[in-house]
Structure 1
Amino acid sequence: MTNSQRPYGNHRTPLPPARTPANGVPSPRTENNPRTENQESDRPAPSGKQRDAFFDNAKYLAIVLVAVGHAWGQILDDGAVETAYRVVYTFHMPAFVVISGYFSRSFDLRPKHIKRLVTGVVVPYVVFETAYSLFQRYGNDDPDHGITLLDPTYHLWFLCALFVWRVTTPLWKTIRHPLPVSVALAALGSVSPQIGDDLELQRVLQFLPFFVLGLLLRPEHFQRVQRRSVRLMSLPVLAAAAVVAWWSVPRMKLGWLYHSSAAEELGSPWWTGPVMVLATLGCSLLLTACFFAWVPRRHMWFTALGAGTIYGYLLHAFLVKAGNYSGWFDHPVLKEPLGVIGLTVFAAAVVTVLCTLPVQRALRCVVEPKMAWAFRQDAGEAARNRERLGNTEVRARGEKVPV
C-alpha cells in the first residue's frame, strides 16, 4: 500500500528487505506489480518478477471448467451431464471471484488503478458486448436485436460485477466486518425482484461475498487447503456433492446456482431467498476449497496459459453461441456418452488455444489496451519514471546509483 506520509522525490524511505515465503505458500506478487491490482491484466510478468504458478494453474483450470460447463449447458437432457454441470457450477465461478478479490487487495482509487480498471474491464466489456450483440443480430438472423450496454450478454456479467466490486474495494477494506455485511447484501438481493436485469446486479450482490473473501485471504490460507489431509477429505466431499447434485436435478431449479434471480422470480416464496443463498454460498465455499486443494503449486505445462485466461473467457462463448445458432448441439451423437466426452475434450482444447500467446498478441489491443492517449499523466509518476530510467542508464554505464 502507498504510504501517504512519504514525500515523493529522490529521498524516499527504503523498503524493508523482501522475505522469502514459507515453503509451499502461494505468495502474492509484489504490491508494485500491476498484476496484483488487476486480475484481468494478463500480460507476461516483467523481467525479474516471478509469476505465482499456483494462481496461474488455478485460473487455467477454472477457465477450462467454465468452457466445459457452458458446453454441457447446451445438452442438459442427460441426467448424468446435468449432475456434473451442477457440481461444476457450484464452484467454478466462485473460485474465479475469490482469485479476483485476492488480487484486488491493493486496489484503491489512485489514478493508475482507475486507468487499469478502465482498460482492463470497461473497454473489453464495451468491445465484446457490442461484438456479441452484432453476432446475435447477424449470426442468428435476429434483426431486432439491438446493442445495449446495460444488459450483459451471457458471460459478460462478470466484467460488470468486477467493475462494481473493484470500485467498492476501499469500502470493504475500511469497514469492520466486511464479510458478514456482504453476505447480508447477497441475502437481501435474493428477496428483491425489483432489482431487475440491468448490469446483472443480482449476480453482483449474490457473488459479492466471494470477492470480499478474496480480499481477506492471505497466502497462508491457500497453504492450509493444500495440506494432504484436506486433499483426502475433499474426495468424500466431492462424492457427496455429486450425490446431492443428482438428487437436486428434479427438485431444485438451476437458477439458484446462477445467482441471477430473486426467489420470487424462481417461483419460490421470498423467505426462501436468504435460506438458499446461505446454503449455496456454503456449498460453493466448501467445493471451492476442495478445488484449490488439488491445484498444483508447481509449474505445469499449462501454467503459462494462466496469463491468458481473460482471452479464453471472452472468446469461447462465440463458439457456444454459433453452435446454438446452427443447431449443432441438437446432433444425435451428443446424446451418447462418447459424444459427451468428445464435446468435453473439444471445449477444453478450444479454450486452451484461446489462452495462448498468439491469441493474446492478436487481441491485446482490445482486451488489454494501453490507451495512453486517453489519460492525463500524473506528474509525480512521470518524475519517478524519469528517475528510474536515469538510474537504469547509470547502471548500464557501470556507475553507482546515487542514494
Structure 2
Amino acid sequence: MSAPRDPWLDNVKMLLVTSVVVGHVLAVLTVPDPFRDHLYDALYVVHMPAFLLVTGYLSRRAGWSRRHLGALLRTMVVPYVVFSLLLWGLRHAHTGEGTEERLLLEPFWAMWFLAALVVWRLATPVLRAHPLVVPASVVVALTAPAWSLDVLALERVLQFLPFFVVGLHARREWLERLHQPLARVLGVLALLGVWAATAHLDRWAGTDWLFNDHAYAELGVDFSAGVATRAALLALSAAGALAVLALVPTGERWFTALGARSMTVYLGHTLVVQAVQYDGLLADLDAAPALLAGVVLGTAVAVGLATPPAVRALRWLVDPVAAVRELRARPQVLPAVPAKGVSPTGPTGPTPAAPRSAAGDRAPEPARA
C-alpha cells in the first residue's frame, strides 16, 4: 500500500508550477511596464529555486536500479524528446523558421528543466553520499559560470545545483519547522526583502542573471565580481524559497489534488504560452490590462491543465509509455457464446440473443488517475 499523499507538498507543487506559468506569460508581454518588470524579477528570484528544492526532496530515493532508470526514461527522457519536437514544430509553423540549436542537445526554452532533472537524478546517489556535498554544490554554482557550457543545459544544471542538493539532504522534521508561526512571520519579512532587493535589480545584477544560463563573461563581469553577485543572488533566492515554503498552507485546499499533476501543467503550458506569443494575443493591450490579463491567463492555464480531462487529453504526450500500457490493459469483453444445443425450449429449440446492456457489450473502462 502506497503512503498517503502529503497535502502540503501538493499545495507547494501546484502554487509553484502556477507561478512558473504566470512568469512565462508575463515574459511574452511587450508593452513596457516597470511594475511588471519588477514583479517578474521578484518571481524569478524565488519560484524556480523553491521548485527545485522541493524537487530534490522528492528525488531522494532516485538511484541506478533498473526500476528507477526505467522510470526516468519513461517520465523524463521520452517527454523531453516529444515536447522538444512539438515546440520546434510549433515555432516553425508560426514563423517559418528552422532552429539554429542542436535541438535535443541544447534544450529548447522550458525543456531545460527536464534535461537538468535527468542529470540531477542520475547523479543523486553521489549527491546524497555526504552532507559536504551541500557546500561543495555552492562552490560549483559560483565557479561554473567561469566557462560557457552549452550542452544539455549544463549552465543551469550547475548554477541551480545547490537548491536541488539541499532538497536531497532535507529531512522531514526540518521542513515541518517551516510550519511554525515564527517561520511564517520570518517568511513574510523575507519576501518583503526580496521585493525590496529586486526593485533596482539592474543596478547590481540584472534580469539575465536570474536565468542561470550565462557565463560571467557573457554578463559583462570578471570572475571576482561574478562570484560576488552570484553569491548574493543565491542567498536571496534561498531566503525567498524558504519563505514561500513556510507560507504555503499545510492542509487540504481546493487546489491540493491538482498538485499531483504538476508535470502535465509544466509540459502542457509550453505549447499554450508559445501559441500566445506567436499569435500576439496580448500584444495590443496597454500595460495595466496586459499585466492583469497575463496573471489571470497564466493562472487559468495552470489550473485548467491540472484538471482530469486535460490530463487525459495530454496523456499520450506527457507519458506515452504509460498511455500504451493502459490501453493494452483495458479488459476486452467478448460476446457470450451459448452452450451448443441448449435453449430454454429444449435441446433443439432456438437460442435467444444474449441480453445487451444500455452501455453496449464493452465493460466500463477503469478510472484513470
TM-score, normalised by the number of residues in structure 1: 0.76
Q: Contact 2:268–2:314 (CA<8 Å) still a contact in 1?
A: no
Q: Contact 1:133–1:146 (CA<8 Å) still a contact in 2?
A: no
For 1:144 and 1:228, the matched residues in 2 are separated by: 51
Aligned to 1:120: 75
Q: Find the partner of 2:264 among 297, 311, 320.
A: 311
Aligned to 1:28: none
Task: Report the Cα offset of residue 350 of structure 1.
Answer: 1.1
Matched position secondary structure for 1:328: coil
Q: Find the partner of 2:58 among 103, 111, 126.
A: 103
For 1:146 and 1:241, the matched residues in 2 are separated by: 34
Aligned to 2:292: 341
Q: Contact 1:83–1:249 (CA<8 Å) still a contact in 2?
A: no
For 1:146 and 1:244, the matched residues in 2 are separated by: 34
Measured against aligned partners, the alpha-carbon deviations of 1:281-317 in whole angstroms (never above 9, x if no partner) come to: 1111100111011111111000010011111111112
Matches of residues 377-392 of structure 1 in structure 2 within 5 Å? none
What amino acid is the match of 2:113? F
For 1:305 and 1:127, the matched residues in 2 are separated by: 23
For 1:324 and 1:98, the matched residues in 2 are separated by: 29
Measured against aligned partners, the alpha-carbon deviations of 1:44-98 in whole angstroms (never above 9, x if no partner) come to: xxx7641110000000000110011111122372111111111110111111111
What amino acid is the match of 2:251? R
Aligned to 1:184: 139
Aligned to 1:364: 315
Q: Contact 2:201–2:207 (CA<8 Å) still a contact in 1?
A: no
Q: Contact 1:130–1:147 (CA<8 Å) still a contact in 2?
A: no
Matches of residues 4-403 of structure 1 in structure 2 within 5 Å? 49-75=3-29, 77-143=32-98, 148-175=103-130, 177-193=132-148, 195=149, 197-249=150-202, 251-331=204-284, 333-335=285-287, 337-370=288-321
Q: State the Cα RMSD in Å.
A: 2.0
Q: Contact 2:21–2:269 (CA<8 Å) still a contact in 1?
A: yes
What amino acid is the match of 2:170? L
Task: Report the Cα offset of residue 365 of structure 1.
Answer: 3.1
Cα distance change, pair 340–229 in 1 and its aligned pair in 2 (3 A): same
How many pairs align?
Answer: 324
Q: Which has the larger radius of gyration?
A: 2
Task: Report the Cα offset of residue 276 of structure 1.
Answer: 2.1
What amino acid is the match of 1:318? L
What amino acid is the match of 1:215? L
Cα distance change, pair 140–181 in 1 and its aligned pair in 2 (3 A): same
Task: Report the Cα offset of residue 176 of structure 1.
Answer: 5.0
Range with greater deviation from structure 2 (101-110 or 69-78): 69-78
Provide the identity percentage: 33
What amino acid is the match of 1:151? E
Matched position secondary structure for 1:265: coil
Cα distance change, pair 274–115 in 1 and its aligned pair in 2 (3 A): same
TM-score, normalised by the number of residues in structure 2: 0.83
Structure 2, unaligned runs of 5 or more: 326-369
Cα distance change, pair 101–144 in 1 and its aligned pair in 2 (3 A): closer
For 2:119 and 2:58, the matched residues in 1 are separated by: 15
Structure 1, unaligned runs of 5 or more: 1-46, 375-403
Measured against aligned partners, the alpha-carbon deviations of 1:243-263 in whole angstroms (never above 9, x if no partner) come to: 221121455321111101011
Q: Contact 1:56–1:305 (CA<8 Å) still a contact in 2?
A: yes
Task: Report the Cα offset of residue 207 of structure 1.
Answer: 0.5
Cα distance change, pair 143–373 in 1 and its aligned pair in 2 (3 A): closer
Q: Contact 1:133–1:147 (CA<8 Å) still a contact in 2?
A: no
